[in-house]
Amino acid sequence: MPVKWYDGTVIRIEDQTPTTKRFWVEIPEVDTFDFKAGQFVTMDLPVHEKRLHRWRSYSIANAPEGGNVLEFCIVLLEGGLATRYFFEEVKVGTHLRFKGPDGTFTLPENLDREMILVCTGTGIAPFRSMLLDLRNRKLPFNSIHLIFGTRYRDGILYREEFEAFKKEWPNFKYDIALSRDSDWAGYKGYVHQIYQEKYAEPDPNRHFFLCGWSNMIDDAVANLIVRMGYDKSQIHYELYG
């Protein structure tokens, strides 16, 4: 079956943090773009002659609500061809070509286990999609703990939304770790300290979902399986960058 490519149009751009922008892309050729919360699309960007250097995958940050608009949260990377294109050239009206959706990093069908969502930077996008989907569909769940890490407080993404979830759901927890903000009143350092402290005793009814920079995921997998004794079947991850 041939791969289906779509042509989208950027309809809105907002600054989210000093180094992160939100892009809304409409797909005029369809009334509904079907995807599962947590999935991604792969864009073919005009940044290089070779396909390998043109294709970039981005998680969909909004929930599947039956429309034809997708939201993406994209960070500016030093020396990155794709992010420089998004930050310097993409405007409202720019056309973006992409294929998808793809990926199995999605909500489990059975939500009766503890879910610990650990992410850094824009790795939060698929988790936002999942949480919005849970709220929209009013799905019951056992418990969810979202652990987010970045450098400074001005890099915290979607904070107001997650604080609102905390008030709405008594079984939802939200913690932030900042690695370089000395005045921060919360966790200082990296995300690892939080799950190591809260979930030191292995439990077979607990699942960890990891998304973010590859170094964070590598360290988390080693911590959870080798040092803390969790089974590898309890660890699910999606690499970012």
Report the pLDDT value the prediction gives residue 107, as an integer from 0 to 100: 93
Strand partners of residue 27: none
Task: Please give the domain boundaries of the chain with CATH numbers for all domains.
Answer: 5-102 (2.40.30.10), 114-239 (3.40.50.80)
- How many Å apart are CA 53 and CA 241, to the nearest integer? 13
Collapsing DSSP to helix, strand or coil, 14 comes out as: strand
Residue with tokens 């609102």: 164
Q: Angle 125-137/159-168 helices, nearest 10 degrees?
A: 40
Answer for the pair 40, 52: CB distance below 8 angstroms, yes or no: no
pLDDT per position as a tens digit, 118-155: 999 999 999 999 999 999 999 999 999 999 999 999 99
Report the pLDDT value the prediction gives residue 53, as an integer from 0 to 100: 86
Report the pLDDT value the prediction gives residue 240, as an integer from 0 to 100: 56
Report the pLDDT value the prediction gives residue 2, as an integer from 0 to 100: 79
Report the pLDDT value the prediction gives residue 22, as an integer from 0 to 100: 98
Report the pLDDT value the prediction gives residue 102, as an integer from 0 to 100: 95
Mean pLDDT by 10 residues, the chain (241 residues): 92 96 98 97 94 92 97 90 95 98 94 97 97 97 98 96 97 97 94 98 97 94 98 88 46
